[in-house]
Amino acid sequence: MLIKKPKELISTPVNLRCVFYRATKHRVDLSNLIEAAQDVLVKAGVIEDDNYKYIKSLDGCRVEFDKQNPRTEIEIEEVKI
Mean pLDDT of the 10-15 span: 95
With a cut of 70, say whether residue 2 has pLDDT above it: no
Instruction: Read off the pLDDT band of 12 (50, 70, 90).
Output: very high
In angstroms, the CA 76 to CA 74 distance is 6
- Secondary structure of residue 19 in the 3-state scheme: strand
With a cut of 80, say whether residue 26 has pLDDT above it: yes
Mean pLDDT of the 9-14 span: 94
- Secondary structure of residue 34 in the 3-state scheme: helix
Burial of 76 (0-12, 13-18, 19+ CB in 10 A): middle
Q: How many residues does the chain have?
A: 81
